Structure 1
Amino acid sequence: MRRAVVLTAAILVAVLGMGVYMFSGHMPGREGAGASGRSGGNETLVVCIAGAYAAEGRYLADAYRNATGIQVVVKPGGSFALAHQIALGVPCDVFMPVAFRRAVAETGPYSPGWAVAFVADSNVIVYSNASLKAFPGMADLLSLYREAYMSNDSRLWYQFFYGLTSGKYPLGVADPATDPEGLYAMLILEAAGELYAGNKSFFIYRMAESRANVTRSSTFYYVVPLKEGQLAFVFSYRSYAEANGLQYLELPPWLSFGDDAYSSWYSRFSWTIPVEGGTAEIAGSPVYLYITVPKNARDRAAAVDFLLFALRERGRLSRYGLAALGRPVVFGNASSLPAALRQLLDNGTLTYGGPLT
Structure 2
Amino acid sequence: MVNEEVNIFNEFLKDKDGQLVDLKSYFYTLTSNVIARLICGQRYDYDDPEMQGLMKVLKRVFADPRVGLVDMFPKLKWFPLFSASVKEFIHNEHFVLNIVKKHWKRHKSLFDPNHLKDFMDLFRYEQKFGTSEEKAGFTDHQMEWLGADFFLAGAETTSTQLSWCLHLYVYYPEHQAALEKEIIEVFGSEGEVTQAHKARTPFLNAFIQEAFRFKTTVPLVLKHTALCNTKLLGFNIPKGTTLIPNFYAVHMDPTIWPEPEKFNPYRHIDEDGNFVFSSKIIPFSMGPRSCPGEALARVETYIFLAKLLQKYKILPGDKPPHIDGSTSIVYYPKPYKFRIEQR
TM-score, structure 2 normalization:
0.25
**Structure with the higher fraction of residues in helix conformation:** 2
TM-score, structure 1 normalization:
0.25
